[in-house]
Amino acid sequence: MAQTEKKGGLLRKSSASKKPLKEKVVLMYDEIFTTEDPSKCNPRFWEELFLMKVNLESLEGKLEALDGEELMKIKDNINCLFQHCIQALGEEHPIRVVNALQVPR
């Protein structure tokens, strides 16, 4: 059953069966937690990631949900994440530095 919502002066039909939209940063976390290199399809992946506000709840939830075997499968991507955190700390862009500091928290 569709309902009408009013947000910011716009009417929009909503459905109880629709999934909520994911933040872009959460979608990028999903890419890190696959066995593929996330920068393979997007060479600017890591630069873009550190420009977005960290979603610690999502990142921690993904890490905690992994068992040892799953963690070993994505070990390279996790190592890459922390390597890029360290690199971002040396940048002059303050947003990247702050976001890189929050990831390994």
* Strands 2-7 and 10-15, sheet pairing: antiparallel
Decide if 95 is inside a domain: yes
Does residue 99 sit within a domain? yes
Whole-number pLDDT of residue 1:
47
pLDDT at position 24:
94
- Tell me whether residue 84 is in a domain: yes
pLDDT along the chain (105 residues), means of 10: 52 65 93 93 94 94 93 94 94 93 83
pLDDT at res. 22: 87
- The Cβ-side half-sphere exposure at 86, using a 13 Å CA radius, reads 5
pTM over 0.95? The answer is no
Residue 39 inside a domain? The answer is yes
Question: How many structural domains are present in the chain?
Answer: 1
CB of 78 closer than 8 Å to CB of 70: no
Q: Would you say residue 44 lies in a domain?
A: yes
**Is 32 contained in some domain?**
yes
Containing structural domain, residue 61: 21-103
